[in-house]
Amino acid sequence: MEAALGLVFGVDSQLIRDGTYFVVEREGQIIGCGGWSNRKTLFGGDAMKTGMDIELDPKRDPARIRAFFVHPAWARCGIGCAILERCKKAIQLAGFRSVELVATLTGEPFYRACNYSQGERFEVPLANGLTLPVVQMVKQF
């Protein structure tokens, strides 16, 4: 987890600039976050970006679901589902017909419960020869 922090588990500030990243607050504290994207990048924070993050074509490409994190004290309270539902509305409004994401293994049961299908499994290289196992997940609207 430490090797993934900052690189894979980091802020993609493009989502904030695009206004497609949401937070859930309680008494002034952020307890959950997650978003969607109409850009090509599938996962990772600013540290993983190499160049321009090009815009996708809603008629041809799947939108992205990005960077869902719920504070452990608030897990299984429906916050992830609520953010995902908010993203779905925005994605449909933007004209996309499908969604793709790359989930960590901890996120996989959550997306499966939300009717995402499992795609390819692969390992993201991290520092010191470590890797992070992830799984591609997809959904048609």
Ligand X SMILES: CC(C)(COP(=O)(O)OP(=O)(O)OC[C@H]1O[C@@H](n2cnc3c(N)ncnc32)[C@H](O)[C@@H]1OP(=O)(O)O)[C@@H](O)C(=O)NCCC(=O)NCCS
Phi-psi region of 30 (alpha: psi -120 to 50; beta: other; left: phi over 0): beta
- Which of 15, 99, 103, 132 touches ligand X by CB under 6 A? 103
Interface with ligand X, residue 110, by CB under 6 A? yes
Q: What share of residues in the chain are helix, strand, coil (percent, to 5)?
A: 25, 40, 35
Interface with ligand X, residue 77, by CB under 6 A? yes
- In the range 53-72, which residues lie near ligand X by CB under 6 A? 68-70
Contact 82, 35 (CB under 8 A): no
User: Smallest distance from the beta carbon of 108 to ligand X, in angstroms?
Assistant: 8
Helix, coil or strand: residue 104: strand
Interface with ligand X, residue 81, by CB under 6 A? yes
The region of 15-23, 47-55, 90-98, 108-116 touching ligand X under the rule CB under 6 A is 108-116
| DSSP letters spanning 23-36 | EEEETTEEEEEEEE
Q: Give the separation between CA 34 and CA 125, rounded to whole angstroms.
A: 23
The nearer residue to ligand X, 76 or 95, going by C-beta atoms, is 76
The nearer residue to ligand X, 69 or 97, going by C-beta atoms, is 69
List of residues contacting ligand X (CB under 6 A): 68-70, 75-81, 103-104, 106-107, 109-110, 113
